[in-house]
Chains A and B, each alone.
Chain A
């Protein structure tokens, strides 16, 4: 009877299928292999920061002219009355404004998703004493262009707790921010300062963020 020969074959095939992968030759033992010449070289770096692609920056160098170890250089327009400050490992661009530098605006880039959009928006809201938003509410926030892509725009007023080890609370502050969180990398632009000062410089924030670009030179 044909049934007797057909069924075992099909069942055997089905069982075989359960042990097979779908993406490249499979194997699960610890193995050694000789490396071909094309795989024998490495870039040996000194620190975890470099290994994790955080920029290696001279802290005293102006942000706009600093050269990332491998990341492309940022170019931008500095709004009138704003001043460039030294960058840091976490800040690619660091600007201040106001008579006594009460306002600041910085750009930070993180590899990967940088913690994700929801967590970062709510972290910023928390710093301003505002309630957290749901993912749906965050997705419904207005967008502004950043590097040619729609970035989530946050505008919140409150008492600003910068954190980072400081317990200081700055009354009546305002935060304007843009977050562009893609899987390839995350970009944050954050502007904070006294409410009135930020309102006066809100156009400058738009000038600055819309001018941000990557130099191809």
Chain B
């Protein structure tokens, strides 16, 4: 029997597209591949850490994985989720026959689509960072865990700076170890040249025997030794060879800039590299990308208790005041009781310094801004309602059919 021929003409493409994406086979294939990607991503967390695994397996359209030593191109979680969303919208909402008996299933599928779209919104628009405060300190500034930018600033006679020229993290972190890029910033009398950016590095004195493995240039008695990327991406301390090339005459000023010169403690000030061009003193450093929330948070008290005899924390919580124009609100932020306000969520995350004593420690909040923060909850409620309706419909149907059967059966 001859197979049914397919009309591949462009005018028929929308129909083919529709048929493909409403196919139950596509949904099944996506679920199988999602299982595989989830398995690979979960296993990869052991060796590469959560963040790296998340980016490679779940935030990608495609990735390659060596299976039995052979590199195989596989669809990433992002692509699979988009296909699944299209499949569910077209297959479970558009194509499906609309009838009252199927209302519950329709609603539950809508809930699942909400969950998928919520995941997409989180991936695309959510921000996360942290804010660390000692008691008495207040701030509206949130710093990124993982993103570093290059900052250059003129220093006044008191060693302070009022304005900074910033090479954003997206650009800086895209520079390879063996790559050179030059930047001409308006208002600065020199070009900024980045001679390689290393995602995780340690400056090592050339007098140390460990420096023999470092191939980078020696500057001021140090070499920048690349390190393997950490499993915990926020623990990576990047470094870069940077040169400042005066526009007029004069030699380049070269420096190693290292993230470890930035602050590890909210009371600490960063330690920039200092140099002078045309009689003006400048500072340069790698700094964490930062942004502001539309209110200030003041830490009034940090309560910290350890388990007796060990350094493990038993409980830590923060009493804070949220400061807005002409309005102050006192709150407590605990481990599972975050502060949610105008789209921002402050979680009690950590504390420090590691050798700090109670009363002399800072509190660290994870600050998330996720437009889809509550979507998983709503989608589960919607899905639950849909399944509940469907269950009731099925139950009523079953009872009616049972009664009919009973009434139709002959009397014994």
B-binding residues in A (CB < 8 A): 2-4, 6-7, 10, 13-14, 16-18, 20-36, 38-45, 47-54, 70, 72, 89-90, 110-116, 119-120, 123, 127, 148, 163-164, 183-184, 214, 216
Contacts and interface: CB of A to CB of B under 8 A. Distances in A.
A44 B202 contact: no
B249 interface: no
Given A17-B123, A41-B159, A115-B202, 18 more contacts: A3-B14, A10-B89, A18-B61, A24-B128, A24-B129, A28-B171, A31-B166, A41-B160, A42-B161, A51-B273, A52-B260, A110-B208, A112-B201, A115-B204, A116-B227, A183-B230, A183-B235, A216-B357
14 contacts: A22-B124, A23-B144, A27-B170, A32-B187, A35-B153, A42-B159, A43-B271, A44-B274, A52-B258, A113-B202, A113-B227, A123-B213, A184-B235, A214-B355
B1 interface: no
Interface of B: 14, 17-18, 59, 61, 78, 82, 85-86, 89-90, 94, 120, 123-129, 139, 141, 144-147, 153, 155, 159-171, 183, 185-187, 200-205, 207-210, 212-213, 219-222, 225, 227-228, 230, 232, 235-237, 256, 258, 260-261, 268-274, 283, 289, 291, 311, 355, 357
Contacts of A43: 268-271
A115 B268 CA distance: 26
B163 A17 contact: no
Given A32-B165, A52-B203, A7 B155 contact: no
Given A10-B89, A13-B120, A111 B128 contact: no
A115 B258 contact: no
A117 B235 CA distance: 16
> 10 shortest A-B CB distances, which residue pairs?
A112-B202, A183-B235, A43-B269, A183-B230, A48-B220, A115-B210, A20-B124, A52-B203, A28-B170, A40-B160
A45 B159 CA distance: 11
Contacts of A50: 271
A22 B59 contact: yes
Contacts of A47: 220
Given A31-B166, A112-B260, A36 B141 contact: yes
